[in-house]
Amino acid sequence: MDTPLALDTAACDRARLARDARFDGVFFTAVRSTGIYCRPVCPAPPPKPRNITYYPTAAAAASAGYRPCLRCRPELAPLAQQALAGQAVQRALALIHAGFLQDQPVADLAGKIGLSARQLQRLFVERLGATPGQIHATHRLLLAKQLLTETTLPVTDVALAAGYNSLRRFNTAFLQGCGMAPTVLRRQHHPLAADDGGLVLRLGYRPPLDFPRMLSFLRKRSLPGIELIGEDSYQRVLGTAERPTLLRVTADPKRPELRLQLGAVDPRLIPDIVRRVRRVFDLDADLQQVHAALGNEPLLARGIDERPGLRVPGGWEGFEVGVRAVLGQQVSVAAATTFARRLVDAYGAHLPGMPSEFDRQFPAPDVLAEAPLESIGLPRSRAATVRALAAACASGQLDFGPGQALEDFVARCVALPGIGPWTAQYIALRGLGQPDAFPAGDLVLQQVLGHAQGQRLSERATEARSQSWRPWRAYAVLHLTLMNLLFDRFDTPIGELTIAGDENGLAHVLFPENRHPARGREHWHYAPGALPEAREQLLQYLHGERSGFDLALAPHGTPFQLRVWHALALIPFGQTWSYLQLAQQLGQPTATRAVGAANGRNPLPIVLPCHRVIGSNGTLTGFGGGLETKAALLRLEQRQAPLFA
């Protein structure tokens, strides 16, 4: 067994033999006896150790003469992030994957990040086992292989999508890299054509991924007329007014993959669309590295334990994120969404023939640079900031392209009137996908980090505290802000209720006595009058004036628990289901025990009505608030006895 570069052979062996998806894309296994290279998750029988060579990238294996496996399909592996220790390599990789080398030489790539071509070549070979040109060539080849395997696109369109302007050059490169002609690979697969002439692609990631929480975050910040984010999907309109199209992203229930459904589109746009989807859902994150860097901080270790699949939600377009960040200065997320809706309605281009949910484009920078934004209710100073941001983008003074150094981008942002370090870091975090962005001036971060000392940390102290979390501070931001729940308590006939939540929604409803304690409760902040909607609707329910709830919910749980809790909301008011019925609703009729355990962990009783689940023989079973409370709630719903005299 031969292993070049700095890969740990023993660790690679363990991951390969276990088919551990957490290492997918971190290394590739080349097999000398077959001449192919595979992902760690390859289902083929393990080869003999003496025939194995480990490579850090697909390009390294390809440059050594190996072909991609047809079973495990290396094109599905997420990108590795081992290069993040070197910012120059990281920036160059981002530019390559965005197509920089499509029409520009390596010397220009090196110059863009401040190196000579020779220095860049040496760094790439040291870190990735391949030159920039080889990385680019393999990236194009694997995209073509995926499109040939999963879509019915004509071979000429596949060549265009992969960046080949010559069909003959594409055929030659594919034959050399895959050992067969593109048409031969196409004949081995029979993908179904989409009804609208579009395509469906599989996008892999290293588990875990908290997809429901990602959707919840994006839903609160969605752009009406452009995006529609449901309980299990993300939809967006894109393209031009002459040729708009829709995309839809859902989670594969069985594999660590997202499913991208894309309407008819110019094939040359496919690589950019895929790249943006991967950024929005942070699919290339290596959470093992992230957690190793953050886990030494006890506060973050608890957050990782509670939310192991938490990632950084990105934005589709950096300019959108920037405008939204300015709109959100000193107001709530809901207020910022209202301003964004007005802005899109007033200045976004109309897309004729599209449904109302998808009939707008986000306003272009040159449009907003001259717009009288005070007309949508923006304060004069904030309107001026949006115009300044738009003018800077329109002139090229500021751009949101890949490969930028974080400090350079922040410096250009804060040079604009009305944009400070907090806003600039937030834009970098979500608009550029910068994993080390850290808005140290954020009051929530300062409050959470200073909670143990009983006082809010200063911005300087917050920045200093974060240094050991580099280069993954953006993930620390997400974990820490989710710890800042506000709570209120109020009296009811079933005892005092405590409710807790944040800007994302209601997270907990607690009884005076609870079977399971709410983790992290010591970090909640008492705020009388917080969450007034939740309080009002709960009281209306207990008065018999409401049969359901219309609240933003933000429960935390495993993907299976979230599915169970979502199913609880389907039980009709005044009716009961057995655990078997609940399991059948989930399509897992043999999982009654697991369903019962998840039901018992429901953090939002009453709102997500776990009290409506009873034993198969009709008897009441355990309930966090006690069986007496459960019986009272069922009597109330069946109008047998009011809780309030």
- Residue 208: CB partners within 8 Å, gap ≥ 6? 287, 308, 309, 559
Contact by Cβ (8 Å): 347, 223: no
Residue 203: φ, ψ to 5°: -120, 110
How far, in Å, CA of 371 to CA of 347, rounded? 8
The 3-class secondary structure across 3-42, one letter per residue, is CCCCCCHHHHHHHHHHCCHHHECCEEEEECCCCEEECCCC
DSSP state, 556?
Answer: -
- Residue 267 makes CB contacts below 8 A (sequence gap 6+) with 153, 157, 158, 160, 161
| β-strands 257-262, 227-229 pairing | unpaired
Q: Give the single-character DSSP code of 262.
A: E
CB 264 within 8 A of CB 198: yes
Amino acid at 506: L
φ, ψ dihedrals at 542, nearest 5°: -70, -20
User: How far is C-alpha 363 from the geometric centre of its chain's CA atoms?
Assistant: 24
393 is catalytic: no
Residue from 536, 644, 633, 627 nearest 575 by CA: 633
CB 63 within 8 A of CB 79: no
> What is the per-residue DSSP string for 44-102?
SPPPPGGGEEEESSHHHHHHTTPEEPTTT-GGGSPPP-GGGGSHHHHHHHHHHHTTGGG
CB-CB contact of 575 with 581 (8 Å) = no
CA dist 227 to 211, 245, 360, 381, 554, Å?
Answer: 17, 12, 9, 28, 20
Out of 12, 24, 38, 436, the active site residue is 38
Q: Between the CA of residue 274 and those of 240, 242, 249, what are the distances in Å?
A: 17, 21, 11
CA distance 562 to 403: 36
Q: Which residue is it, tokens 């192919």? A: 36
CB 153 within 8 A of CB 193: no
> Is 73 in contact with 112 (CB distance < 8 Å)?
no
Catalytic residue among 282, 442, 488, 502, which? 442
Clarify whether 284 is annotated catalytic.
no
Inter-CA distances, 437 with 139, 279, 336, 405, Å: 27, 15, 22, 11
Q: What is the CA radius of gyration of the chain?
A: 26
CA distance 150 to 186: 9
Letter for the amino acid at 623? Answer: F
Exposed/middle/buried for residue 249 (C-beta within 10 Å: 0-12, 13-18, 19+): buried
Q: For residue 203, give every residue at least 6 positions away whose Cβ sits within 8 Å of its Cβ, in sequence order, or none.
A: 76, 257, 258, 259, 260, 274, 277, 278, 283
Residue located via tokens 């079933």: 494
- Contact (CB, 8 A) for 446 and 456: yes
Longest dimension (CA), the chain: 83
Q: Active-site positions?
A: 38, 442
